Each structure stands twice: as C-alpha cells, then as structure tokens.
Amino acid sequence: MKASKILTRRKLLTAFAAATTGALSARRAVSLAGPASPARLDQNAELSAADGHGHPMHGMSMNPLVDRFPRRHPDIVLSSPPRTMGRQMGRVVTPGIPPLGYRMDGDVKVFELIAQPVEVVITEPDSVEHRHAPTIPEGHQRFQPRSSQPKTMLAWGYNGNCPGPTLEATEGDRVRIILRNELPEPTSIHWHGFELPFSQDGASGYHPFEARRPVLPGQTEVYEFDLMQSGTLMYHTGFNVMKQEALGLSGAFVIHPRRQERKIDKDFVLVLQQWTFQPGNPNPNINAMEPSFATFNGKTAPSFPQLVVHQGDQVRIRFANLSLLYHPIHIHGHVFEIVGTTGGPIPVSARWRDVTVTIGPGETRDIELDAWNPGTWRLHCHVLHHIMNQMPDQPMGIAPHEGMFTHLKVIPNERGYDPRSPRAPWEYPPKQEGI
C-alpha cells in the first residue's frame, strides 16, 4: 500500500503520456463536432447561461408576414384514399371511421396511409334534439334543449379521415405500412406502444441520435416490423408532434392475440380527442391548453352514432386517448371489467370491475361487458365540460348531448319489450365470473 504511493519516474512518464494523448483526442473531437454542433444536445452538454434561457435562437430570419407553415401545401394535389380503404377485414368497428383493409405481399400485410389535410364534420347542422322537438310534451317546451351548432374542422388526418382508420392485425404478423406525405411539412408515424426495432419507431427528427429523418412533403416512406404483442395500440405523428398530433394525425392499431380468451360479439374502438376553436374558425388552435370540443372518433354527439348491441352480446370497447387530458368514461346500467391496457391484456387475476374507466393521455383501456340490460344507456366522459361543445364558452340554457357522449343501445331480445316503461319486467341475472 505504501509502495504504491511512491511516484516513480516511470509512473510519471506514463501518466504524462496518457494525459497528452487524452488532451489531443479531446481537442480533435471538439474540432470535429464544432462549437454549435447539434451533437451537444445529444451529449447532454450543459446549457448556456446566456439570459437564463438556454441557447439564443437564430430567430425568424424570414418574413413573418408570409405563412411559412400553411395548413395545406399549395402544390400538392391530394390523393384519393387507397383501394383498401373501406374494406372491413378485421373484427373491430370504429364508429364514424371507415375501416382500412390491407393487401398481402407474401407473408406481409401491407397498409397504406396518406397523411393529408382533411375536412371533418364534427357535428351536423340538424341535431337529434331539434328533429325530435315535436315529441316534447305539453309544459316541457321551454325546457327543450338548445340545438347543437354545426361544426366543421380543417384538420390533418390519414386517408381522408381524422382520426385515421383503425389498423387491425394479429399478433405474430409482419406488417408494412406505406406512408405518403401530402402535408405541407415533413411528417412521420410513431407506433405508439409497439415493441419493435428502433429504426421503425417513427419518432423522427434531425438530431443525430434519431434513426430517421421525417418524410418530406410529396414523398413516401415505408415502415415494416413484426407484431410481437397484442392489445389496443395507437399510431400518431412522430415529427413536430405537438402541432401535428393536435391537428389530428393519429389513429388506433388493434393487434388481436393469436388466441381469443372468449368470444366477443361487438368490438368497438373509440379514439378520444380534444380540440380548441376560436368561435367560427374551422382551424383548430393548437396552442391553447383549454380545449373547447371533445370528440369520439372526430365527432361529437349528437352526430356520433350510438353503439348498438343486442341483449346478451359480449361487448368490448377500446378507448384510445390521444387528447391532452384525462377522461373518466362512464357507462350507465352496466358494470364492466377493465381487461387491457396499451401493454396488452391484463391478467385475469388483476382485472377489476368498475363503472368508470379513466384513460390518461397516451393511454388505451379495453373494457368488456355483458350487455344484459336492455335500454339506451348513456356512455360519456364524466368530466362534464367534455360533454358540451364549445364547453362553457357559450350560453348554457338546457344543454343537449354533445362532446364525448353517446349511447350504448342494448336491443332487448323480447319483441315488444319497452325498457322505458316502468311496468316492463326486469330480472337481475346471476353474475358471471369474469364479467
């Protein structure tokens, strides 16, 4: 121990040589990287202390009066949806959004997605309440809900829809997704929740640590990977995410397990999104943090269709939250079981019963229920601002059903059975294990 502390001439020369080599190497590395190289970000270099806000940016050298980031590229002609659009080849239904089929290339399922500006009718001009106004009984007229106001949105989506169509495949499949960019700025697709090679993740950018550069306007990119898991997953833009996802570039991706646990009669996908509009302006304000519209699959009640099932159907509903807020979704008249997350099916022993399921931003939740109870049951977000278009920014009056609001309509098996009647016979069935 004592001998090791003795500084011999040999040790001194060795240390000097090592220090000199190290210093030269470091100098070379710095000169190659350059003082303003983006590599500094990769290396987590210390931030500049200049004005306390990191590196001063070069700023807007271009004319700020020219729209450098328009919502639509003036020179790109928007394509029609691919031939496979509208072909129902899976099992899930995404109400309001046509399905997307695939073609086979050998053993590979090939999907085509076209990122493009889309016009979305969030609500129709005529509301259900308005159409049903004559049914309002005597004495109730002045409590008639106000009409829902029509709302059209100029958003970004895939294959003419916002959100994009739901992709369906089976665990173990190899999929290829061809992305064509018809937006005025680069984009990519991030496969949210997928276990896949880093090169296929789609979180693209211009940092050296990123695997891919985004797809330029007018160009096409291919993602290809094996599906190693099952569950309700999502896809959304992987470039300039805050803007592009807020404009609607997202969708659901359902991977069915190789073997179903049990038979499901109706399998729905509801993509939860939120939007902010200045009154009258169809362009979503992506900067605002207090959204004014909440939608299921890009629509709001009363235009969003009801989920129609038959009494006794085994129903699965998959919620995919691509908004910036939590949504506790509640269903009337039924207890359901939460059976899956983005990570896949929840083990049977870990599942729990509930009547409200909260889905956080970036999360999916699958619930299953036995539709034993006939009726037109409300299904809605329990953050009640989210069941009102334009939220509380408009005169309240008697609010119609809007926002994240729909009905689970359970059609009775017995003909003539009217669940609205207090005299209708009602029998509480024995609880099944697992539901």
Partner 1 sequence: MRAKISLGIEILLVLSLGGCVTVQPESHFEAVQTLGQERVQTEIVWSQDAEQVQENFQRASTLAQDGLTRDEAAHIAILNNRSLQAELENLGLAAAELTQAGLLQNPTLEAFVAFPLSVGSSGLGLIGWLSDLWQVPRRKRVAALAARQAEYTAVWHVMLTAYTAAHAWDAVVATRQLLHIEQELLVVRGKAAQRLQIRYGHGLADTTEMEEAVSMQAGQEIAVHEAKQAVTQAVTLLAQTLALENAADFISTHTLETIHFEQQSLQVTLQYAMDNRLDLAIAHAEVERRAKQHELERALIWKTVLFGPRWEGDFEDVAGGENSIGPTLSIELPIFDQNQAWIAASSYQLRQAIRRLEALQRLVAKEVVEHYRGLDRMHAALLILENRLLPSTDTSVNYAQEWNHKMQLPFITVLTEQVHQLEVQRRIVQTRKMLNDTWRMLQLARLGASPHMP
For 347, residues 6+ apart whose C-beta sits below 8 A from its C-beta are none
289 conformational bin, left if phi > 0, alpha if psi -120 to 50, beta if neither: alpha
281 binds partner 1 (CB under 8 A): yes
Smallest distance, partner 1 to C-beta of residue 57, A: 5
287 binds partner 1 (CB under 8 A): yes
Q: Is 27 exposed, middle or buried, given 0-12, 13-18 or 19+ CB atoms closer than 10 A? A: exposed
Dig out the tokens for 135 from the structure: 């049914």
Contact window for partner 1 (CB under 8 A) among 38-46, 62-70, 98-106, 216-224: 62-70
Nearest in space to 303 (alpha carbons), one of 124, 154, 97:
124
Contact window for partner 1 (CB under 8 A) among 65-73, 171-179, 223-231, 412-420: 65-73
Question: What's the CA gap between 293 and 273, in Å, rounded?
Answer: 8
Site map for partner 1, 311-340, x if CB under 8 A?
------------------------------
Smallest distance, partner 1 to C-beta of residue 154, A: 9
Smallest distance, partner 1 to C-beta of residue 281, A: 5
286 binds partner 1 (CB under 8 A): yes
Smallest distance, partner 1 to C-beta of residue 51, A: 9
Whether 376 and 409 have beta carbons less than 8 Å apart is answered as yes
- Identified binder of partner 1 from the candidate list 11, 27, 28, 53, rule CB under 8 A: 53
60 binds partner 1 (CB under 8 A): yes
- Identified binder of partner 1 from the candidate list 35, 52, 59, 347, rule CB under 8 A: 59
Neighbours of 200 (CB within 10 A): 18
Smallest distance, partner 1 to C-beta of residue 56, A: 6
Helices first, then strands: H and E counts in the chain: 4, 21
DSSP state, 4?
A: G
Smallest distance, partner 1 to C-beta of residue 72, A: 9
Smallest distance, partner 1 to C-beta of residue 433, A: 50
Q: Which is nearer to partner 1, 37 or 390 (CB)?
A: 390
Q: Is 243 exposed, middle or buried, given 0-12, 13-18 or 19+ CB atoms closer than 10 A? A: middle
Q: Which is nearer to partner 1, 155 or 322 (CB)?
A: 155
Contact window for partner 1 (CB under 8 A) among 36-44, 209-217, 272-280, 397-405: 272-280
DSSP one-letter string for 11-28: HHHHHHHHHHHHHHHHHH
Quote the Cα angle for 229-265-343, to 5°: 20
- Identified binder of partner 1 from the candidate list 33, 37, 39, 71, rule CB under 8 A: 71
The helix (H) or strand (E) run that includes residue 130 is: helix 128-131
Q: Which is nearer to partner 1, 280 or 425 (CB)?
A: 280
Whether 327 and 340 have beta carbons less than 8 Å apart is answered as no
DSSP state, 423?
A: T
Smallest distance, partner 1 to C-beta of residue 384, A: 25
With CB under 8 A as the rule, give the number of residues binding partner 1.
Answer: 22
Point out which residues bind partner 1 (CB under 8 A).
53, 56-57, 59-60, 64-65, 67, 69-71, 276-281, 283-287
